[in-house]
A and B are shown apart, each in its own frame.
Chain A
């Protein structure tokens, strides 16, 4: 058997396996999108899984109007942007110090930071909400930003540390000989070189923070301050669920993360790989 036919056969098997898998993977998303365009009476009469007999933008209109998804999206941006920038900035400082300076116990520091990430956030819900309460910042967006920065820091530092270690020491050595101080080396040499991994982490952090629900409902109680995920949950009533509105709102809520992901997709894959093969 020639290699060409073998290759062709392999390609055929690949498609035969992957096409149904892809369909399976995409099915829930298609389901939600279809649901978003149906009317409430259609869903109530025929069930969520029925073939659609109605088409309209009623769900979207209501999600943006009554559901106040627009305001919630803006809140999410207000939380996500500072939290991502602040956590990456702090993590890059920490990683720079740990990777480039002879700090005693730096390995222990790094492992301690990472160990915090291994704890499931669920067991910290009540302690954290009590701490926020006693600090007097319970029910503020500032509290939410603080939590996201705190919880993300360990992992971001770990990844950036690995990446910075892979940058050859000769580069910083040369800069030092040219008279650059630690701050200049950080700003002019290290940070520009870290751009791919920062972009990857930025995309990852944006997705995580934007999609967070559990912290938002733990430390916030004012409806006007709820980010988009919690607002989405609020659309679901105890007695009635307007599935079309919920589905439409889900689609709206998914758009920003999808945009960020597609924009950073290239960095995302390459950046994470670069960190790993040091």
Chain B
């Protein structure tokens, strides 16, 4: 193949091209200024793409009269991937939905988030929130997050199904294994778990077993890289997990967590450890039959801990209208807005504001509030207590483990290897 050498004409054409490109750049910068002038409109970037929460947030935002707000709802997985780009762009959205805890702190450490400490003092919107929530929203002594609701995790089951099978709600590990055995003897899969397209669900049992055996303190330290994933503590956790493997519906490996709810509602599976958001995936006629229990206690000397992932908002540090962003945050955190959102979203989420009247909430939600009030420590969830990168290592390790529980030592060693890479970076 012969390609002619670059000629003088080609070179000149290239120079011309570069000139044209810089010209384009110049007029584009011009248009950027005009975009800045329109910043009196606030942008709220939302990851709540589920139909009911989306409709609820739309309604709540419509009720905000001070400044016009553009609500952008982006599918959650896209949002997750694009969030760094959103925050890092020259003209970022003013307010964004996301998670409290390590994830928010991570962005704060890069200087992306607006300091909202003044909302947490005096008559600020978050001033009456619990100290635990304040601690959760703090990075380097400053508050950078506004939590608005949270939910609990539990082992969900159908009351009528448990009655049919003649089993009682277990409170200890041995009772729990006995229940699994009874359900299995009826030809029903005891535990439904969708680890196909949503492998993070497998971390639910990991988190809980670790909380029950080693406690919340150890769990947090493990996720922060202070302990090793192939240490003796995690091995004990995996020994317990291994006892469960034979009771987990093998079909769940190809399900998403949403698909795994279907066997539970049609009584082809007994139980499902999942967050309270399960209620939105259950057909309307089965919701009242749905109940949950606390993940059984394994070591009574370990203080009871529960997972309560907290959702809310943060504002971008580069927002063109920081005062407006803070006012919008205050509105979203106010008791009426929280109550309106939770009721319209038909979710089983709990409000963070103590001024919200929860007595009208469904009995299941009341039970969830009680569960969290009785626990000594609160954690978020694997990814929220660490990072999305570390979650990926957990997904790999745990799905491998579910396929080949015998290889547990090798899998844990590999997990530690990849966790070290993530935490070291």
Contacts and interface: CB of A to CB of B under 8 A. Distances in A.
Contacts of A224: 70, 72
A217 to B, nearest CB: 5
A105 B75 contact: no
B24 interface: yes
Nearest to A107: B3
Interface stretch (B6-14, B110-118, B124-132, B232-240): B6-14
Contact of B74 (A44, A45, A62, A223): A223
B31 A242 contact: no
B248 interface: no
A240 B281 contact: yes
Contacts of B7: 104-105
A46 B262 contact: yes
Interface stretch (A74-82, A150-158, A180-188, A231-239): A231-239
Nearest to B284: A41
Contacts of B165: none
Given A136-B35, A221-B82, A238-B76, A44 B55 contact: no
Nearest to A40: B283
Nearest to A110: B3
Interface string B1-42: 111111101100000000000001100110110010000000
Nearest to B84: A126
Contact of A223 (B1, B24, B73, B86): B73
A44 B50 contact: no
A241 interface: yes
A106 B73 CA distance: 47
B interface, how many residues as a size bin?
35 or more
A221 B86 contact: yes
Q: Which one of A106, A223, A237 has the highest number of Cβ atoms from chain B below 10 Å of its Cβ?
A: A237
Contact of A44 (B6, B77, B282): B282
A239 B50 contact: yes
B360 interface: no
B354 interface: no
B85 interface: yes
B93 interface: yes
Given A221-B93, A237-B51, A239-B50, A45 B3 contact: no
Interface string B280-296: 11111110000000000
A234 B82 CA distance: 14
Contacts of A19: none
A105 B261 contact: no
A224 B85 CA distance: 19
B51 A45 contact: no
B262 A44 contact: yes
A48 interface: yes
Contact of A105 (B3, B76, B89): B3
B47 interface: yes
Contacts of A236: 49, 75
A223 B283 CA distance: 29
10 contacts: A41-B283, A107-B1, A135-B25, A221-B82, A223-B74, A224-B72, A238-B47, A238-B49, A239-B280, A241-B256
Interface of B: 1-7, 9-10, 24-25, 28-29, 31-32, 35, 43, 45, 47-55, 70-78, 82, 85-86, 89-91, 93, 256, 258-259, 261-262, 265-266, 277, 280-286
Interface of A: 40-41, 44-48, 62, 66, 104-109, 111, 129, 133-138, 217-218, 221-224, 230, 233-242, 245
Given A135-B24, A224-B70, A239-B277, 17 more contacts: A41-B283, A104-B9, A105-B4, A107-B1, A111-B3, A134-B25, A135-B25, A137-B28, A234-B49, A234-B74, A234-B75, A234-B78, A237-B48, A237-B49, A238-B76, A239-B280, A241-B256
